Each structure stands twice: as C-alpha cells, then as structure tokens.
Structure 1
Amino acid sequence: MTGLSVSVRGEDGGREVVSDLSFTLARGETLCIAGESGSGKSMTALAIMQLLPQPAARISSGTIRLGETELTDLDERQMRRIRGDRIAMIFQEPMTSLNPVLSIGRQLTESIEAHTSLSQAEARQRAIEALKAVRISEAESRLRQFPHELSGGMRQRVMIAMALALEPDVLIADEPTTALDVTVQGEVLELLRDLQRQHGTSVVLITHDMGVVAEMADRVIIMRHGRMIEEGRTSDIFARPRADYTRELLAAVPRIGSGVGRQKSRDAQALTLANVAEVKDLHVRFDLRGGVLGRVNRRVHAVEGVSFSIAPNETLALVGESGCGKSTTAKALAGLVPYSGDIVVGGRNLSGLGRDERKAVRRDVQMIFQDPFASLDPRMRVGDLVAEPLVIHGIASKDERRERVAALFERVGLSADQMELYPHEFSGGQRQRVCIARALALRPKLIIADESVSALDVSVQARVLDLLKELQREFGVAYLFISHDMAVVENISDRVAVMYLGQIVEMGTRDQVFSNPRHPYTKRLIEAVPVPDPARRRSRFARLDQEIPSATRKIGEAPLKLALQDVGNGHLVAAGN
C-alpha cells in the first residue's frame, strides 16, 4: 500500500479519515494496526477490501497492490472474486456479521461454492473440515444451527472458519477479540497462530488492545487521526517508543500488579462500616419451554446461592466469563429481574417492600451499562437525560434540576453548554461520562458498573476509571464493578468475587485473589490475560478443553452446590479446590 488517502463526505464538505498511509506486508507476517477509535484503522481495512460505504466514502489517492494486482483498478465483479478467495476479513461483532436467518452450514458453503467448482456435497465436507480446524465440537451437527444458538466465542470461531475455508493469502482481523472473555480470546489468538503456521497466511490485526499487540505482532503501526504516528518492530515500539502519543497509549494500558491508575490497597478496617448492600442466598432462574405443547422442560440456573456484601466507599468486582451470572446478579440487585433470596439495601429488604417503597430504595442503586449509546435515548438532549431520574422521583424544581445537572456535567469533565447536545454528538468516552452523571443524579449509595469501560479505548478507559475513583472519594459511593477484564479489575477493586456457572467460586481482597489465587478457574482467568510486553510473549495460549458448560438443566435436575471455605483472613474458596 502506497500513499492511501480515504475521504468522507459530510455536511461541512469532505474530510480525510486516512491520510497518506503506506506499508508493506510480507508473507506469513502479522502486522498490527493500533490506535484509538477514529484513528482510521477500520477505514483502512475497508479500503483494502473495497468495502467503503458508498457514496459517502472513497479512496481519494494512493495504491493498494496484492501481488501484481492493483485493487483500486478493479470493478465490483472483479473484487468479488478476490474477496474471500485471496483476501478475507473477520469483523469485530460476529452476531451482526452472520446472517441470523441462515444456518451456519448455509453461510459457510455459500462462500465455498461461490469461489470454487466444488459440488454441494464437497462444499459441505470442506465446511465441516473448516469447523473442525477451528476446534468446534460436533462440527456436522453445528451446520444445522443458527448464529443465536452459539456462544460468542463459537460465533467468532465460525467467522474465522468462514474466512479461512478458502485459504486466503491475507487475513484482515478487525478487533476480533474485543468482545470476548480472556480465555476465549486466548483460544482465538492461538487459533490464528496455528492457521498462520499451517498456511503461511499474512495477517493484518486491527486492535486497540496493546496486550494483544504484544502477544501477536511482528510489526506495529500506530495511527492517530488518520495518520501513521509511528511504525516499527513490536519490541522496539514497546521498549523505545519515539512518539509522545505512543508513550501515552502504552502508559494508559492497565497491567496486573502495576499501572499508573492502580488502586492502592486499603485497610480492611476502613471497610467495616454498615454495609450499603447485602445479598444472601440469591437465586435467579428462568424456565424454558419446548416441545409441541410448549411445556416447561428446562430451567436456566443463572444465579445459584450467591452471597456478598458491599461497604460504603468500597469497590467489589464481580468477574467471570460470559454466561456466568454477573449481569443477572446486577439486574436482581437493581430490581430488574425476579429472584429469590434476600437483597438488603440501606438496611431494608427489597422482598418485603411495596411498590412505592421499592421505588424509594432504587434511588440508592443506579446502573452504568456497557454501551452508552444504547442506554441513552437518541431523541433526547443529554441534559434532559441526566435530569430524567430527578423528574421521575419528583426531586427539586425545574430551575434547581437544571443547576444540579450543570454541576454534574462539570464534575464529570463536561461543560454545561453540552447539555443541549444529543448523544450522537459525543464520542464514546464522553457518552459514558453522561451515563455516569445520570447515575449520580440521585446521589445513590451504590452504583453498578456493568462492563462500563470494556468498549472504550485504553486512554479513554483510563480517564473514566480515574473519574470513577475520584467520585468515590468525593461522594463515598460504593461500586459493584462487573467485568471480564482482569487487568482492569486488579487496578480498581478492593475485593473480588469470581463467578462460574452462577456461583461464586472464590472471593477475597484484591491482593488475596490476584497474588494467591486458589481456585483453578481463577488461575485460568488470570493466566489468560495478555501481557503488554513482547519480552514476555507466550509461545502458546492455554487451550480450552471444551466449551464453557451450560447453566441449563432439566426440570428437577439441580446444579452441584458449591460451599465456600475460609482459607485464611476472609479468603473464601469453593470446597474441594
């Protein structure tokens, strides 16, 4: 690629989102393009694939050469022969990339049949082989399944199988692991390494996760505002970054055991005040219907006997892989799903309260969700969104509410002038700040942050985490911090509870859990975290022996109940481990 520039047409005229970008890619090489959202990473990938949104975006200058073929000279019919066959792409979100109304088998065989002369039976056999290559069990039966019937990790592996079924020369992977748990992420990265070794495929890996860059890349390109800021070998970029922006990006990366934003360990005596919230023997179960008559025949044991407490000014992190029950526990605590057991907030048990009393208690518990854009009404101004909880609870007059909202905006690092804007006029990090202001509007005692920084760039993530800690010191608010990012958890938490299949398998202080993990599942989670240091690159990631077991049981079949034992100083571990 030489001198690539991509322009986007807007209301104010055209602007360049990629400017004068040049690089080469050798056979079998892994090139990582890293940078924050809006840096031009994905637009570069779409330009290579000739998939820029038309007519809004176009290549304004430059060349893209694949071997002896100049891609910018090809028409759409000619590019269709190239895509999938010689260049393939794995997109960030497999659920939106896979067609929900077509079976996995149909989507796999469709691309094989389009680029080869194989018969339908032969294409089906190659699809099965592709699924086996990405270690999907029962590959033949999976062909009949639809995307929604697979886990996130399995859907991503289907996307990889689809991309590699035709053994392309170049594979472009656009944030392929951002939404995955650390163990599944390790499996996917190891899978890419295996397939690269077997077929000599060149990989362009687009990511903002510097841990993944350190583990995978031979060379790195750092981009900002559409321009290449720095380029070089991975070891040089991490050890001797030349650009200030690169140094800032690396400094913002959370690291287990260190990091500029790491929360200092606090004396347990400081956290022995009356608890803000107590959860005792919490159960959340969902019945599933099936068969001709639609009878209840299975039950999802989403949360099984979970107990914990949170003190004022404390951050309790709830960690585990997708499907372990973290978010369901949070929703029960916020009164959003039916449950059995006891949830006590501010000394009042929610199960014994009427509707009006529950509404009053809910003022003390607020949530910050993972996707700020999805949790904000796009038709309302952000000032009105932050004021809405005050309106619902009938707090203050209109002028007083406006003054309080303006003060909240200033406190979370936004200006009062921005109250008149709409959600789409903000960046992702700014939208999350709006959500934090909204959560603070009622001055709650507990804020549940459900994957609140997982979708943010590392530098934005660091600023949001710093803001959360500042607000905790200022208001004394407690956090239930839900995440699958163990490095972030290690940097912000006071205590950690590890969940697996709806139950807590280990709980203790941050230092107890990370310095001396006792449960095998906890150890696996910590070991799977990519280390942002090429000198500590692993030769292989740990394999998953199988898919994470399901929490679904037949009616009458109860899950194994785990008993927690104290192994010293309040460090609780599931019995038998």
Structure 2
Amino acid sequence: MMTTHTATAPSGATAPLLSVRDMTVSVRDRGVVRPLVAGLSFELYPGETLAIAGESGSGKSITSLALMGLLPNNVTVTSGQALLEGVNLPDLPEARMRAWRGAKLAMIFQEPMTSLNPVHTIGSQMTEAIRAHEAVSRGAARSAAIEALRRVRIPEPERRMKQYPHELSGGMRQRVMIAMALALRPALLIADEPTTALDVTVQREVLDLLRELQAETGTAIILITHDMGVVAESADRVVVMRQGRMIESAPVDTLFTAPKQEYTRALLSAVPRLGSGAARAKPLPPTASVPVARLVGAQVHFDIGANFLGRPTHRVHAVEGATLDIQPGETFGLVGESGCGKSTIAKALVGLVPHAGHVEVDGKALGGLTSLGRRQICRDVQMVFQDPMAALDPRMTVGEAVAEPLLIHGIGTAAERHARAADLFARVGLTQDQMTRYPHEFSGGQRQRICVARALALKPKLIICDESVSALDVSVQAQVLDLLEELQAEMGVAYLFISHDMAVVENVVDRLAVMYLGQIVEMGTRDQVFGNPQHSYTRRLLDAVPIPDPQRKRPPQAQRPGDLPSPIWPIGKAPARVHLRDIGDNHLVAQEA
C-alpha cells in the first residue's frame, strides 16, 4: 500500500513548477505492452529539491528520461501528464523539446562517458552547449565554460578544455557533465545519480554547489539516487519507488524518523553509517613473519607530453614512496580521492604497471620475476573490479567464467573444474543450475557475487577489491560485504579494500592508509584513523561523509583555495616526500608544513 503526504509549497511559491499526474511509462516488447513506471504522481515547486530514491530497476531513471523526452523508441508515456510550467512535456514535438532542453530543463546523467562525445574536446562540447542556448560570442562561451569547470573543482580548467573525455578519470568526466548543466542555469535540473562516481569531498562540494545555485536562481532539482545520506542532506521531500511504483512519499524529516513502509525501513537500515564500525570491531590478525603483500618505497611514474623531439615533457607521480604491508587474514583499506594512487598500487601488486622500489607478494619480490614466477603471482593475488558487467565476458556462461582461471593454469580435469565452480557458486549464495546462464541474466549484485567466486577459484592469499561495491544498491552492498566477511573467516584470505566511501571502509577494514597525491599521509588501525584522525586531509575526508540524518544539517564545506594540486610535474622536478611519524601504537601520520 502506498503512503503519501500532501506536498507543501516552499515559502513564496504559489504554483508548482512541475506537476506529474498519474504518469505511466510502458515498453512494447514483441507485441506486449508492459508498464515500467505505473501511476506516478508528484509536484515540484521552484527552489525545491525532490529526491526519488529506490534500488536498481525501481523506475527512477525511466522517470527522468520520460521528463526529458529521451525515452527509447519502444518506450512511451502511455497515460498521465508531466506539466512543466503548464505545458505537458510528453506532448511536445521534438523540435520544441530540443529548445527546452538546457534552457528550461537540464539533466546530469549517471554515466558520463556515454554522454560526452569521444571525438570532441571538453572545451568544444561545453562551448557548443552554451552557444546553442545563449547568444554569446565564442570567447564569452569559453570563459563561461572555464568558470563552470572551476566551480566544480576541476584542476587546471584551461588545460582540461583541450582534453578529450578518455583523458579524464570517471570522476572528472562526471564533474564536466555537472558543469555543463550548471552553466545554462535551467529552471529544472534532473540529477540522475550525479555524485555516484565522485569522491566524498568532491561530492560534498558539488552538493553544496547545487544548493548555492538553488539559492541564487530558484532552480528546482529532482535528485535521483540510492544514497540515503545524500537524500538526507539535500532533499526537501522524498519519493520512494519500488518495481515501478511509488510506495511512499513524505517530507525528508518524516521519512527518516517515521517511515511507513517495511521496504523503506529496510532501505534505511542497510545504509552504512560512519561511527558504527567500532561496534563491529574484531581483534587484529597476528603479525606474520611474512606478510601477504608488502611495499617499501614503491614508486610508479608515467611520462606524458612530448616536445618537438618526441621526448616526454612531464611526469605523473602516481605513487611516490608508498610503504605498507598486508597481513594474512587482514582487511587493509586504501582511501583517498580519484587520482591519489589507490588503483595504481593495486596494479603494481599484480604486475600490471612498471614500478621502482620494493614490491613483494608472499615474500617474493616482483622485480626480476620469471614468467613462471609471474604466473604464480596471478594465483596468489586476484582482483574484484568495480563494474562486474564489464569484468565478465558476455559470450561466456558464468559457470565457464568461474572455471576459466583453473583452465588457464591447467588445474584439474573438466569434471573437477566444474565441481570446483559449483562449490564456489554455493559459497557465494548462488545455485548450480545458474551456472549455465549468461551475465546479462543476473542482477548487479549477483554478477558481483560471480566475480567474487571467480576470484576465489585459485585459492588466492590476497583479493584486491577495487571499488567493488560502490556501484551497488545499499541493500545489495550490505549482502556482498557480509559475504566477503564470511569468506575471510572461512578461508583466511586477506583483502586490499580500495574505496572512496569512508562509511563502508570503516565497517569492513582492520587497518587502513589514507593517500593524497600518490603518498600515504596517515596509516593505522580503524579505531586510530576514524576515532582520532590527525592529518588535515583525513579530517576533511571524514567531514565530507554524508550523514543519513536530516536533523544534522551541516554548513557548506570551506572551498580549497585556487586550483587543486596535481601529481603532474615537469621532467626533472618531483614532489617533496612526506615523512610519517609514529604518534603511538604504530599510528603513522605525515608531518604537515
């Protein structure tokens, strides 16, 4: 049964900007019409933020595409209305709708790489979007684009204007999309998971920026997200959707304090909360004579640019002098913003990037290994990636995918490999009859479970989880994290857990290191780092974590002055190395200038 509350207009607003009335969106598949969103109704006033929350497949994104007139050819609005300033959006012809997009309503999409043109520079795409809706010169449009990039905290915006989308990280591309939408100052902004790919500090800055824009222009925002912390901090009202239907609608305070529906209560209870990790604390694994992995003064550099002789002009100091160790049976966390070197350390551990300094796995140094030695490293270290769909071959059944590592390493007969895969499926909560299916037949959470099963096939000593739960819904995320914990207790495997979600990290790690611009600035146990953060960057990361409590509204975070620092240095120059000091019980903190 659906629970609703009557929308209350913000102070000064007399009529809704957007009124969605009993809207149904249906798909026609092989002659059968099936509703994807059924009977959706809500109102949105100028200056208001409405959050549409729910898990994958609930109809959130389909709703946004219907409002933008961007539905696929076989999907249409079959009944109801979506009135923007009194005009029914589904009835607008494409020519008029094209003029409205950007000027009247704009959208920030979830996946920026599919929204940006790969053959045009960032600058040409941004200036084109601005000039399509505003009568300004090319120079004025370029200045507006640079300012928009600067406002979303993109370092060196003038240089970024000359780059192509593939040259930017995922977080950078999402910031470009946000800057492009904000530059046009629309009356209605639809943000579809706008901060999912962003670091927690940039996420907070972007959400602060959206609020500033609202205060300046009265822009109304529809915020589509599965992050209930973002909902609590940003929304005035919330619509909760499940399987294409609105099951609850309420002011944000009411929804968090007194949710009416069991599904809403389950959704809220699955949210990881900063500060709850101490309750899950367990004794640290004993220090072994030979750690599973160890780095001592590890460096990873990439040369870029070229002068007229073809020689590189600059160097990316991706990792600069990192020293850490991971013990058997331990979960070690690496946290920090995009580009800080977290994933590069993971790649160095599996031999995917050249490195200087000392890197070893299970007591064996990676430098100078034979091909047979490198093959053994692949057995000892496995990875679980962020996007399980991209990590699985769509032409291969999932049973074949899980058994493939055994085949590559020549382990067992075909029957033994099948039996091992079936056992792994059972361990990750899947059934043997699912082994004959293909990746597209599973949900995102099930696909990530399959990736975990594949990583376990070779009985590794270390599994690297690189943002392995960041793309999952909170309830599915909780299930995968519980699975990883159960497997660790059962098999004694160690994890290197890489994430920018500080609340998740606090709930799963034993020890962690905080990275900034390729260097470790703080390292210690979970209780040391989260309970007594000493470095200013660590404190900034923790302060930026969204709190799933609408009663605790935080003031906007202070903007960092000037451009963000960059790990790129001219050839011959290098960043100053930080020095870690022990402030007690092996809690290491970098000295600050």
TM-score (norm 1): 0.95
**Offset at residue 144 of structure 1 (A):** 4.5
Match of 1:3 in 2: 22
Offset from partner CA, 1:178-233 (integer Å, 9 cap, x none): 00001111111111011110000000011111110011000000111111111000
**Offset at residue 143 of structure 1 (A):** 4.6
Asked if 1:350 is matched to 2:378, the reply is no
Cα separation, 2, equivalents of 1:548 and 1:152: 17
Judging changes above 3 Å, is the alpha-carbon distance between structure 1 residues 520 and 353 closer, same or farther for their aligned structure 2 residues?
same
Cα separation, 1, equivalents of 2:83 and 2:313: 57
Offset from partner CA, 1:482-528 (integer Å, 9 cap, x none): 11110000000000111111111110000000000111111111111
The answer to whether the Cα contact below 8 Å between 2:392 and 2:401 also exists between their aligned partners in 1 is yes
Asked if 1:243 is matched to 2:236, the reply is no
Match of 1:436 in 2: 452
Match of 2:225 in 1: 207
Judging changes above 3 Å, is the alpha-carbon distance between structure 1 residues 404 and 149 closer, same or farther for their aligned structure 2 residues?
closer
Match of 2:484 in 1: 468
Asked if 1:512 is matched to 2:501, the reply is no
Name structure 1 gaps, 5 residues minimum.
none
Cα separation, 2, equivalents of 1:524 and 1:399: 53
Cα separation, 2, equivalents of 1:282 and 1:346: 16
Q: How does 1:147-226 map to 2 (within 5 A)?
A: 147-148=165-166, 152=170, 154-226=172-244
Judging changes above 3 Å, is the alpha-carbon distance between structure 1 residues 571 and 116 closer, same or farther for their aligned structure 2 residues?
closer
Q: Which amino acid aligns with 1:299?
A: R
Match of 1:542 in 2: 558
Match of 1:85 in 2: 103
Cα separation, 2, equivalents of 1:470 and 1:11: 43
Offset from partner CA, 1:96-120 (integer Å, 9 cap, x none): 3222322334323323333344455
Cα separation, 2, equivalents of 1:48 and 1:190: 25
Using the TM superposition, name which of 31-40 and 299-308 deviates more: 299-308
Asked if 1:491 is matched to 2:507, the reply is yes
Using the TM superposition, name which of 557-566 and 431-440 deviates more: 557-566
Q: Provide the secondary structure at the position in 2 that maps to 1:64.
A: strand
**Offset at residue 411 of structure 1 (A):** 0.8
The answer to whether the Cα contact below 8 Å between 2:48 and 2:236 also exists between their aligned partners in 1 is yes
Match of 1:21 in 2: 40
Cα separation, 2, equivalents of 1:348 and 1:128: 49
Q: How does 1:119-518 map to 2 (within 5 A)?
A: 119-120=137-138, 123-124=141-142, 126-127=144-145, 130-131=148-149, 134=152, 143-148=161-166, 152=170, 154-258=172-276, 264-268=280-284, 270-272=286-288, 274-518=290-534
Judging changes above 3 Å, is the alpha-carbon distance between structure 1 residues 275 and 61 closer, same or farther for their aligned structure 2 residues?
same
Q: Which amino acid aligns with 1:59?
A: V
Q: Provide the secondary structure at the position in 2 that maps to 1:5.
A: strand
**Offset at residue 343 of structure 1 (A):** 2.4
Using the TM superposition, name which of 368-377 and 66-75 deviates more: 66-75
Q: Which amino acid aligns with 2:37?
A: V
Q: Provide the secondary structure at the position in 2 that maps to 1:186.
A: helix
The answer to whether the Cα contact below 8 Å between 1:273 and 1:311 also exists between their aligned partners in 2 is no
Judging changes above 3 Å, is the alpha-carbon distance between structure 1 residues 396 and 182 closer, same or farther for their aligned structure 2 residues?
same
**Offset at residue 257 of structure 1 (A):** 1.0
**Offset at residue 8 of structure 1 (A):** 1.7
Judging changes above 3 Å, is the alpha-carbon distance between structure 1 residues 117 and 325 closer, same or farther for their aligned structure 2 residues?
closer
Q: Provide the secondary structure at the position in 1 that maps to 2:26.
A: strand
Match of 1:45 in 2: 64
**Offset at residue 133 of structure 1 (A):** 5.5
Cα separation, 2, equivalents of 1:134 and 1:504: 25
Q: Provide the secondary structure at the position in 2 that maps to 1:179.
A: coil
Q: Which amino acid aligns with 2:272?
A: P
Judging changes above 3 Å, is the alpha-carbon distance between structure 1 residues 417 and 174 closer, same or farther for their aligned structure 2 residues?
same
Offset from partner CA, 1:246-291 (integer Å, 9 cap, x none): 11111110011117xx773233464556422222221111122412
Cα separation, 2, equivalents of 1:91 and 1:490: 29
Cα separation, 1, equivalents of 2:264 and 2:373: 52
Match of 2:8 in 1: none
The answer to whether the Cα contact below 8 Å between 2:285 and 2:329 also exists between their aligned partners in 1 is no
The answer to whether the Cα contact below 8 Å between 1:64 and 1:71 also exists between their aligned partners in 2 is yes
Judging changes above 3 Å, is the alpha-carbon distance between structure 1 residues 140 and 383 closer, same or farther for their aligned structure 2 residues?
closer
The answer to whether the Cα contact below 8 Å between 1:519 and 1:574 also exists between their aligned partners in 2 is yes
* Aligned-residue identity in percent: 62
Judging changes above 3 Å, is the alpha-carbon distance between structure 1 residues 503 and 117 closer, same or farther for their aligned structure 2 residues?
closer
Q: Which amino acid aligns with 1:481?
A: F
Cα separation, 1, equivalents of 2:479 and 2:536: 33
Cα separation, 2, equivalents of 1:314 and 1:531: 28
Offset from partner CA, 1:296-332 (integer Å, 9 cap, x none): 2222211111111111111000111111111110011
Offset from partner CA, 1:137-191 (integer Å, 9 cap, x none): 7766765444445565554443333323333211101111000001111111111
Cα separation, 1, equivalents of 2:39 and 2:224: 18
Judging changes above 3 Å, is the alpha-carbon distance between structure 1 residues 57 and 567 closer, same or farther for their aligned structure 2 residues?
same
Q: Which amino acid aligns with 1:88?
A: A
Q: Which amino acid aligns with 2:47?
A: G
Q: Provide the secondary structure at the position in 1 that maps to 2:102.
A: coil
The answer to whether the Cα contact below 8 Å between 2:333 and 2:513 also exists between their aligned partners in 1 is yes
Q: Which amino acid aligns with 1:32?
A: A
Aligned length: 574
The answer to whether the Cα contact below 8 Å between 1:315 and 1:481 also exists between their aligned partners in 2 is yes
Cα separation, 2, equivalents of 1:78 and 1:303: 51
Match of 1:67 in 2: 85
Cα separation, 1, equivalents of 2:562 and 2:423: 51
The answer to whether the Cα contact below 8 Å between 1:263 and 1:492 also exists between their aligned partners in 2 is no
Match of 1:96 in 2: 114
Using the TM superposition, name which of 344-353 and 73-82 deviates more: 344-353
The answer to whether the Cα contact below 8 Å between 2:299 and 2:321 also exists between their aligned partners in 1 is yes
Cα separation, 1, equivalents of 2:119 and 2:136: 24
Cα separation, 1, equivalents of 2:430 and 2:539: 40
Match of 2:583 in 1: 567
The answer to whether the Cα contact below 8 Å between 1:187 and 1:544 also exists between their aligned partners in 2 is no
Using the TM superposition, name which of 337-346 and 139-148 deviates more: 139-148
**Offset at residue 341 of structure 1 (A):** 2.2
Offset from partner CA, 1:417-460 (integer Å, 9 cap, x none): 11111111111111100100000001111101111001111111
Match of 2:569 in 1: 553
